[in-house]
Chains A and B, each alone.
Chain A
């Protein structure tokens, strides 16, 4: 399957779910700032990769899938878990991109702040997509052999 962008999925999301994400995102950012101010840059830096909103997003994905199945008269519990697990697998690959973001930012921020952000975001996108594509290719090859 090719990567697609569709606005249909947004119709499944309820208004308060956007609010929950905004709230958790804001709180996670404030928390990271407090940790940095209280314990220094080294500890504060760890919390820049805290999976604070992952709890909410995985739960929302699970409930969306379950609701969709239940509408069709089926039990959606297992399907919801599988959808959340797929999201977690994607996040594991995205973490490689996040590490690349941090490494590139670390190496370039002393030269130019704007340039460091641009290079770090480009590194995050490139490494994440490359990791996803590579995993997909490996799965296709292993399925073809079995």
Chain B
């Protein structure tokens, strides 16, 4: 339980820091870079190294590459849903989660995890 409280607080703090920095940066396209900041990864990989060792963290970071590629596809789809289909931000970001899941798990199925 303590571990999950620690994860929650660490994740919340790191995400908030990157979000505030993103609010302060201009232009918006540059601030958007922080939308793909490694906030969750920083908190999770730190705990993974302490709890399971560096091999486990290395295995997690390998498939994180697939997650990042999926995030790029997700962001492009969100952009198109907003600009071409005139959807609002909330439905666009929720609908596009299907793309993230499909690409991330598709890459994992195709290329596998770390050896």
> Which chain A residues lie closer than 8 Å to B92 at the CB level?
58, 84
Counting CB contacts under 8 A, is A85 at the interface?
yes
A7 to B15, CA, bound (A): 18
Counting CB contacts under 8 A, is A134 at the interface?
no
Given A109-B49, A132-B30, the answer on whether A85 and B82 have CB atoms closer than 8 Å is yes
> Helix, strand, loop or mixed for chain B's interface?
helix
> Which chain B residues lie closer than 8 Å to A52 at the CB level?
40
Given A43-B63, A84-B89, A85-B79, the answer on whether A98 and B32 have CB atoms closer than 8 Å is no
Number of residues of chain B lying within 8 A (CB) of chain A: 85
Given A6-B26, A42-B108, A50-B67, the answer on whether A27 and B33 have CB atoms closer than 8 Å is no
A43 to B23, CA, bound (A): 31
Given A4-B25, A5-B25, A29-B8, the answer on whether A102 and B40 have CB atoms closer than 8 Å is no
Q: Mark B36-56, 1 if CB is under 8 A from A, else 0.
A: 111111111111110010111
A4 to B66, CA, bound (A): 32
Q: A25-B15, A46-B70, A90-B30 are in contact. List 6 more A-B contacts (CB 8 A).
A: A28-B15, A30-B11, A45-B62, A81-B88, A92-B79, A99-B69
Q: B residues engaging A (CB < 8 A)? A: 3-4, 7-16, 19-20, 22-49, 52, 54-72, 74-76, 78-79, 82-83, 86-90, 92-94, 97, 100, 104-105, 108, 112-114
Residue contacts A-B, CB under 8 angstroms, 13 given? A5-B25, A13-B23, A34-B4, A42-B63, A45-B59, A51-B75, A62-B88, A81-B83, A88-B79, A94-B33, A106-B62, A110-B55, A120-B38
Q: A residues engaging B (CB < 8 A)? A: 1, 3-7, 9-10, 12-13, 18, 21-30, 32-34, 36, 40-55, 57-59, 61-62, 78, 80-99, 101-103, 105-106, 109-110, 113, 117, 120-121, 124, 128-129, 132, 136
